[in-house]
Amino acid sequence: MTKIINLRNNILNHLSTIQAMNKEYATAFTETNLYFVNLKELDSPTKSDFAHNPKTLDEICQCYSEIMNISGIYTDTLYGQIRRRPGLCLNALLNINDDLCYAQKVINEAINYINRGIINKDTLEGYATSTNDFLGVVIGIAYKQKEDIDRLIANLEKFASEYINTLNENMNQILKDVNFESIDYDNKLQELIDLEAQLRKEINENIAAVVGGAVLTSFCLVAAIVGVVAAVVSGGGSLVVSASVLGGIAAIGGTMIPLGFSSYDLYQSKQDLEKTLAEIDGYKADLLEFGVIKSEIEGVKSKLSSVRNGLTIMADAWGGVSDGFKEIQTEIYNATIETKNANENIAIWCEVYTIIENCITKVSKLEEDVKSLIVSNLKVSKAKIEIGMSAEQVKEALESSESIDFKDYMLAV
């Protein structure tokens, strides 16, 4: 019976992996969309700051144009494919559950038949065939999930290779070609990127707290709040960086105080960085913005990689589910054809019954989890969050604000 117990454990482990990866996948997908919302807000730099180096301006403007193009391609193609994946997974689980229940019913009939003590080989083979037919459907569903995921992985890899990786390399080269004598520039760029990352984390935690965590999957992307991050990379010019962006961070810092997070640390970081940015001329400030934009592109690259990695693990797990049920089919066949001892025969059928029962319980739990991860219609909110708002006021602002369908928002000219 050790083999059958191992089969059960393997299948349950694969289902647990699918459960865990769906959650990570949904989070990475939402965070990817947040990056694209930020990038949608970009404005090209002004010519005045680049008067003495028009070639750099042309190269940067070309990157901005490519970013807009890439955002549109993502929204038109990959966004829908990635968004639909949890729903497709749920449909597969519902169908698997149905067929496992049918198989369990047949196995129970077979056990009752064997317990009566008069066993006809043809009758028992009929039970085995019927059970294996239902399990064959489960195997087919699991394998199709693997095939579908493999196709999505290929599309993700193609998108990253043709667009994101190339753009990231071009942006790296532009910054590499711009050599400032002072190390202060690199330090300030890193400070700005670190502050942006800290702000992003703060925003995610606070909004999740206000809406009960649903923001990660089924609520909405908040343009006004995420837009504060976007402001780091928009507008062009040192005044925008030091005044508008950091002022926005200060405002967000203020709103976070009633919610009990580390807004004071954010505010102090903002104050320190504001002093150093005030000393930078417009040309370097625009390049600072460009450096932060590059970090946003790297964020997209990283999150899409997380989506792909989650899918890869899920595909392997679905393959394991398919292979596991194939082995169970073999065990059922052996219990019917090869096993001569009646006690051993019924023991195998009972073990298989337990496996199916455990799998039904696990699949039912997985169904509920995946159902909560389905994003039917992701929206971008125009909520305005101001300094001094309480948690209840933030929630009210989110619920009452204008919202736009994500695709409409991203594809608007």
What is the C-alpha to C-alpha distance for residues 103 and 189, in angstroms, rounded to an integer? 61
Q: What's the pLDDT at 43?
A: 64
Amino acid at 53: N
Proportion of the chain in helix, strand, coil states, percent, rounded to 5: 80, 0, 15
Q: What's the pLDDT at 5?
A: 76
Terminal Cα distance for the chain, rounded? 64
What is the C-alpha to C-alpha distance for residues 71 and 82, in angstroms, rounded to an integer? 15
Q: Determine contact, residues 203/231, Cβ cutoff 8 Å.
A: no
Q: What's the pLDDT at 328?
A: 93
Tokens matching residue 122: 């043809």
pLDDT tens, residue order, the chain (413 aa): 667 778 888 999 999 999 989 888 887 887 788 788 777 766 666 666 565 567 788 888 889 899 999 999 999 999 999 989 989 999 999 999 999 999 999 999 999 988 887 778 888 889 999 999 999 999 999 999 999 999 999 999 999 999 999 999 999 888 888 766 555 677 777 777 776 666 666 655 655 555 444 434 333 444 434 444 334 333 333 333 333 333 333 333 333 333 333 445 555 655 666 666 666 666 676 777 777 788 888 889 999 999 999 999 999 999 999 999 999 999 888 877 655 566 777 888 899 999 999 999 999 999 988 887 776 667 776 666 554 455 666 667 667 777 777 888 888 86
Please identify which residue in the block is written with the tokens 């590059």: 294
CA 108 centroid distance within chain: 40
Q: What is the largest CA-CA distance in the chain?
A: 97
What is the C-alpha to C-alpha distance for residues 381 and 384, in angstroms, rounded to an integer? 9
Tell me the residue range of the domain where 126 lies: 2-411
The burial of 297, by beta-carbon neighbours within 10 Å (0-12 exposed, 13-18 middle, 19 or more buried), is given as buried
Q: How many domains does the chain have?
A: 1
Return the CATH number at 402: 1.20.1170
What is the C-alpha to C-alpha distance for residues 125 and 332, in angstroms, rounded to an integer? 9
Q: What's the pLDDT at 233?
A: 37
Name the nearest CA neighbour of 271 among 285, 251, 250: 250
Please identify which residue in the block is written with the tokens 């625009």: 286
Q: What's the pLDDT at 46?
A: 62
Q: What is the CA radius of gyration of the chain?
A: 28
